[in-house]
Every structure is written in C-alpha cells, then in structure tokens.
C-alpha cells in the first residue's frame, strides 16, 4: 500500500471521528424516563448546557440554540462550573403523559443553596419562576433549604424543553434531581434530621466550651468557641439551613453567610492553634505565619463586606486552605517536638484539610459533585470537632496530671524538709533536755520564791494575818462585790485594851506571843470567806462579807469580845486583856474605802469612851 493511500485513509478516519464528535454535541437533550421506581431521577445524564457570557440571551434565543444543537451535554461526573461570570442555561426534556398511573406533578431540586439567582422556564413559557439566595426565602416556590420547583409533565404533542438559567458570583455547582412528591418528602425528612443532628452536636460543643471558658478563663476555649461559631455560620449558609430557620428575611446576609462564616472559622482555627499548641514557644517564624494567616482572614471579612462578592469568595477559599494547612503543619511540627497534645490535633485538622480540599476542588469544578464531595465537609467537620473536643479534654487531663505530679513533687520536697527539721528537732531536744530540766527546776524554785515573797509582802510577819496592804485590797474587792451584787458587808476596827501594861511588865517577847494568841482567837470567830488583818501594834480589822443584818454583826462582835476576854496562858503566865470594837456597815455608814474606815475607827474610839471591852456599832446619819 502506497504512502499516499495510507495518508488518505488517515484523513478520512480523522474526518469521520470529527463528524461523530460533532454529532454527539449537536443532539438535543435525551428525554427523561416517564417513570422511576425509586421516585428520584438524577438529571445529569439528561441535560445540556449553554453558556451566555454576556448574560443577554432571551429564553427564545436559548430555545432556538438548543433546537439548533448548540448546547453541550453535561459531563457524566456532574455539573460543576466553578467560578464563572457567565450566565448558564441548563435544558432538559420533560416526560410526557404516557400512562394513567403517571404522577401529574414532579419536583425539580437544585441541591446547592448558595446560588445567587435561578430562573426556571417551564416548557413553552416566557415567564420565569425566579429565586436564589439574593431573594427572600418567602419568594421560593417550595419552602426548602435547596431550590425546588414544581413541574407538570407535558402532553405528547406539546413542547417539552424546560430551561433553568443560573447566575452566581460564587461557585456554580448544580446537582440536579427530579423527584416524585412522596419520595421528596421522605428524602427531606432524612436530610433535615441528619443536619439537625449535625447542628445540634455543634451547638452542644459550643455551649460546653463556653461554659468551660467561663469556668477556667483559658484562651484556648474562647478561640475554639470562635471557630465553632464561624463553622456554624458557614455550614448553615452552605447547607441552606440558615436560610430556612435563621436569616430567612435577610437575603443580604444569606448571600454572605457561607463565605463570611468560613472566613471567621479560618480566623478562629488559627487562633485556636496558637493558643492550644503554643507554637511561639517553639518556632517564632511559624507563629508569625499563623498571625499573617489571621490578618488575611480579617481582610477576607472586610472584602466580603466592602467589595464584590467574587473577590471575597476567592479570598475565603485561599484563606481556608491556608489556615487548615498551617494548622496541620503546626501540629506536625509540634508532634516532632514531642508535644503530647499535637497527635489528636494533627488528626483532626488533617480530616478538615482533606475534606476542605475536596470541597474546594468540587466548587471549582475540578472534581465531580457526588455525595462525598457534597456532604463530606459536614462529616469531616463533625469528626474534626469531636477530635478537637477530645484534644481539649485530654489537655485538661494532662494539665491536671502535670499539676498533680508537681504537687506530689512539692509535697515530697516539703516532706523531706519536714523530716530534716524533725531530725534537727530531735537533736536539739536531746541537747536541750538537760537544760530544760534545769530551767524547770529553777522556774519552780523561782515561782515558789515569788509566791513566798508575795505572801510575805501581804502577811503580817508576827501573826501571819493579812497586813495593811492586803487589807486595803480585800476592802476594795468587798466594796466592788457589794455594789455589783447589791448586798451588805461590815468592817470592824478592833483595839486591844490593857495590852501596853503586858509589854511593859513582861517584855516584848511575851507581848508578841500574846498577839499570836489574839490572832488565832480572832480567826476562830469568823468565816473563811471573811478577812482578819493586823494593821498596827495592837490594832486589828475584820471584814465580814455578805452579812444578813445589823444583828449578825453585833453577834460576831460580842463573840470576839467574849473570846478575847478569856485569860491567855503564856508559859506560866495567865494574862487578862479585853478589846474595844467599832463596826461600820456598807452601805449604811459609807460607800467607799475611806469613809468606811473612818466611820469604823470613830466607832472604836466611842467604844473605848464607853468603858472598853465592848462593841460599838456606828450610828446611821439622819
């Protein structure tokens, strides 16, 4: 075969392949099946796409282009158009009435809640049904977190092409499904229940860590709370749950919730990394990179609020990937530096990074949209949150163990010091024992001596009775007690009669013996609570406490007179003396020491003037 023949065949073959390829793209969308056993049809194999870069094509223009075969079949992996400024038209053929059992109503679901504007054109209609996250939730044709439209199957002889026009400043990911009402309701219950469990767990973790921060005031818990708040806002915006239950009347926030929440999430993630792993202690440059990531996250928030959405959305994507990557790198770095808390932390952020990258790649159309890429962020974030909560709890436990170890070491050191002190004490006790005994004996002798000195200072040397000082003290005490208890007492002044002749005749030695006998007889005539004192040569005083009346004082005085009137046997001598007594009663005759003494002394001299050897009771002043 010649070379020219081979070349001709190659050209013909290439032409055939080109025509076949063109024919594949020039066909209209295949019609949908008229029924499905599962109640759901994935529309991806049945749709075609048309890009409108200017956004000015009318529905009539688009129908003409679809009829001319200008549309492109959707990729089998799913409709993921990434970040695009163009308007996109999606067309599919509606099923016709074929059997009496065919459901009259079908539901079209666009399972991506962050699309800005959606216009649905029923077959043959020029008027769209418009919704999107830029519009109030109440405007949606079906109240659902995703965008849902009610479809009516067409007749066999009518137009069948349905069109959906999409515009969004964010990612254009369009999972399309056709549902029967019963299957859609069941699917909605399941999906809402799963999301409710997810957000319930997130809220529980949020409240728990708020309480921990309130109790412990540790920065890591507050940063983790900030991370959870950002994650909750972002996920509520991305899943559409926030549009349904929280900000349904705020379309401006519904449009920003997803990127704004994840920008705050990235900021909280980095702050939590810094406060939990404390990288500034190990690598100042790494901590500086984390701070730069935080600055970028804050700049993303500003861009979302002040600049076009597309710029902030692109910054958010980069910020989220950067923050997660830095968190993973920091955890790996700390793990290599033997930081205990870094192991679980690394695993948690690795899951976040893995699912976050898949989520971002799917948003940009680089990987297909499927169940894992659509919902992996929820599952990944939930696993990550649980692991981070475990890491926080493990950190608390580790810090507690470290604290207990430090306390045990401190107690051991303290016990060692105590043992040393005890040994020193025993040594000191051994050395001081003898000295202590000596000091105790010396103190006992000193105490005894002091007691003797006190007694000598307050006792009459000859008779052993109270002296003038002790008498004055007892008299003051008697006055105080009588005033407090409102009772009476008596003061007796006593002077011996005929005592001076005894001294002159028999000498002072006999006189002293006589005074001792007088003291003994006086003591026998009064109670133990009374006081007998010698205040002069032959002068004595008696304090009678708590008397019943004047008569009792008179009786005691007479007994004293009678006792001292009896002869005294001093050796072989029988001596006869007597006494004169003056008595004053409180408060009748005085209410202080001076007045009582003066009145009793005057009464004693009155007794002497009356003939001695008697008691004279002072007279009460009129």
pLDDT of residue 567 exceeding 90: yes
pLDDT for the residue numbered 606: 94
Residue 450 has pLDDT above 70, yes or no: no
Q: What does the angle CA 372 – CA 375 – CA 380 come to, to the nearest 5 degrees?
A: 90
Please state, for a pLDDT cut of 70, what percent of the chain lies above it: 83
Distance CA 257, CA 89 (A): 26
pLDDT score recorded for residue 34: 55
Return the top range by mean pLDDT from 88-102, 286-300, 455-469: 286-300
Note the pLDDT of residue 543.
94
Q: Spot the catalytic one: 460, 495, 497, 538.
A: 538
* pLDDT in the model for residue 3: 37
Q: What is the pLDDT of residues 246-292, one digit of tens each?
A: 998 888 888 889 899 999 989 998 998 888 888 888 888 888 999 99
User: Taking 80 as the threshold, does the pLDDT of residue 394 lie above it?
Assistant: no
Which letter, b or e, does each residue of 334-365 get, where b requires 16 or more Cβ atoms within 10 Å of its Cβ?
A: bbeeebebbebbbbbbbbbbebbebbbebbbb
Residue 530 appears among annotated catalytic residues: no
**Domain residue ranges of the chain, discontinuous segments joined by +:** 23-179, 193-406, 468-617
The pLDDT score that the predictor gives to residue 79 is: 82
Determine the average pLDDT of the residues in 146-157. 77
The model's confidence at residue 20, banded by pLDDT at 50, 70 and 90, is very low
Q: What pLDDT score was predicted for residue 614?
A: 92
Q: Which CATH number fits domain 23-179: 1.10.287.370, 2.60.40.2380, 2.30.30.40, 3.90.1200.10?
A: 2.60.40.2380
Least confident of 234-238, 243-247, 428-432: 428-432
CA-atom Rg of the chain in angstroms:
58
CATH number for the domain whose boundaries are 193-406: 1.20.1070
Considering the domain 468-617, what is its CATH architecture? 2-Layer Sandwich (3.30)
Among 377, 366, 266, residue whose Cα is nearest residue 316? 266
What torsion do the CA atoms of 462, 466, 471, 473 make, to the nearest 10 degrees? Answer: 130
Q: pLDDT category, 452, cuts 50, 70, 90?
A: low
> What average pLDDT does range 152-165 have in this prediction?
74
The confidence band for 25, taking pLDDT boundaries of 50, 70 and 90, is very low
Whether 121 has a pLDDT exceeding 90, the answer reads yes
pLDDT at 122 over 80: yes
Q: What is the pLDDT of residues 332-355, one digit of tens each?
A: 888 888 887 788 878 877 777 677
148-174: average pLDDT: 81
Name the band, by pLDDT with cuts 50, 70 and 90, for residue 97: low
Q: Which one is predicted more confidently, 483 or 155?
A: 483
Q: What is the mean pLDDT of residues 352-369?
A: 64
Query: What number is the average pLDDT over the span 470-488?
Result: 91
Does residue 10 have a pLDDT over 60? no
Task: Say if residue 389 is exposed, middle or buried (CB neighbours under 10 Å; 0-12, 13-18, 19+).
Answer: buried
- 46-74 confidence digits (pLDDT tens): 899 999 999 899 999 999 999 898 998 88
Instruction: Over range 466-495, report the average pLDDT.
Output: 92
Res 11 pLDDT > 50? no
> Over the chain, what is the mean pLDDT?
82
Mean pLDDT on 166-179 = 87
The pLDDT value recorded for residue 120 is: 95
CB 195 within 8 A of CB 246: no
Percent residues over pLDDT 90 in the chain: 33
Do 110 and 93 form a contact (C-beta atoms < 8 A)? Answer: no
Comparing CA positions, the residue from 413, 399, 520, 381 lying closest to residue 460 is 520
Classify residue 86 by burial, with Cβ atoms within 10 Å: 0-12, 13-18, 19+. Answer: middle
Who's near 420: CB < 8 A, 6+ residues apart? none
Could you give the count of Cα atoms lying within 13 Å of 17 in the half-sphere of its Cβ?
6
Is residue 616 over pLDDT 90? yes
402-406, 477-481, 616-620 — most confident range: 477-481
């Amino acid at each position: 075969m010649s070379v020219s023949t081979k070349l001709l065949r190659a050209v013909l073959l290439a032409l055939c392949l080109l025509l076949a390829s063109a024919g594949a793209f020039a066909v209209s969308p295949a019609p949908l099946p008229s029924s499905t056993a599962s109640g759901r049809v994935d529309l991806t194999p049945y749709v075609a796409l048309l890009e409108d870069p200017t956004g000015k094509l009318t529905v009539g223009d688009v129908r003409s282009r679809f009829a001319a075969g200008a549309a492109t079949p959707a990729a089998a992996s799913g409709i993921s158009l990434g970040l695009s400024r163009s308007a996109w038209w999606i067309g599919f053929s509606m099923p016709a009435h074929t059997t009496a059992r065919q459901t009259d109503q079908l539901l079209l679901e666009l399972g991506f809640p962050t699309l800005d504007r959606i216009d649905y054109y029923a077959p043959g209609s020029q008027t769209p049904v418009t919704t999107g996250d830029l519009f109030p939730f109440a405007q949606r044709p079906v109240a659902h977190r995703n965008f849902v439209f009610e479809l009516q199957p067409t007749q066999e002889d009518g137009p069948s092409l349905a069109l959906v026009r999409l515009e969004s400043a964010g990612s254009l990911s369009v999972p399309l499904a056709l549902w029967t009402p019963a299957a859609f309701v069941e699917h909605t219950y399941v999906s809402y229940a799963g999301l409710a469990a997810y957000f319930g767990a997130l809220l529980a973790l949020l409240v728990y860590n708020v309480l921990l921060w309130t109790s412990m005031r540790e920065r890591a818990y507050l940063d983790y709370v900030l991370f959870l708040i950002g994650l909750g806002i972002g996920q509520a915006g991305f899943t559409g749950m926030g549009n349904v239950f929280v900000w349904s009347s705020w379309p401006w926030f519904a449009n920003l919730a997803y990127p704004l929440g994840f920008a705050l999430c990235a900021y909280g993630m980095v702050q939590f990394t810094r406060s939990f792993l404390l990288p500034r202690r190990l690598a100042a440059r790494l901590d500086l990179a984390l701070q730069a990531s935080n600055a970028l996250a804050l700049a993303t928030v500003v861009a979302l609020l002040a600049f076009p959405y597309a710029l902030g959305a692109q910054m958010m994507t980069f910020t989220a990937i950067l923050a997660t990557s830095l968190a993973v790198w920091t955890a790996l770095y700390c793990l290599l530096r033997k930081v205990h808390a870094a192991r679980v932390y690394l695993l948690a952020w690795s899951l976040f990074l893995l699912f976050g990258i898949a989520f971002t790649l799917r948003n940009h159309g680089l990987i297909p949209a499927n169940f894992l890429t659509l919902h992996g962020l929820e599952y990944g974030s939930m696993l990550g949150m649980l692991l981070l909560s475990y890491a926080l709890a493990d950190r608390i436990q580790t810090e507690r163990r470290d604290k207990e170890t430090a306390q045990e070491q401190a107690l051991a050191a303290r016990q060692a010091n105590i043992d040393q002190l005890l040994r020193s004490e025993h040594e000191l006790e051994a050395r001081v024992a003898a000295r202590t005994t000596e000091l105790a004996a010396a103190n006992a002798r000193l105490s005894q001596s002091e007691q003797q000195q006190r007694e000598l200072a307050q006792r009459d040397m000859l008779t052993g009775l109270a002296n003038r000082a002790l008498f004055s003290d007892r008299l003051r005490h008697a006055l105080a007690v009588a005033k407090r208890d409102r009772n009476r007492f008596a003061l007796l002044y006593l002077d011996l009669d005929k005592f001076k002749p005894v001294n002159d005749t028999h000498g002072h030695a006999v006189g002293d013996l006589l005074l001792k006998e007088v003291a003994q007889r006086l003591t026998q005539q009064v109670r133990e609570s009374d006081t007998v004192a010698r205040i002069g040569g032959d002068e004595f005083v008696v304090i009678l406490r708590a008397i019943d009346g004047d008569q009792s004082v008179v009786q005691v005085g007479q007994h004293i007179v009678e006792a001292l009137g009896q002869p005294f046997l001093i050796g072989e001598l029988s001596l006869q003396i007597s006494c004169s007594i003056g008595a004053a009663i409180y408060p009748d005759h005085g209410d202080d020491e001076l007045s009582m003494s003066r009145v009793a002394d005057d009464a004693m001299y009155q007794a002497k003037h009356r003939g001695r050897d008697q008691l004279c009771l002072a007279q009460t002043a009129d």
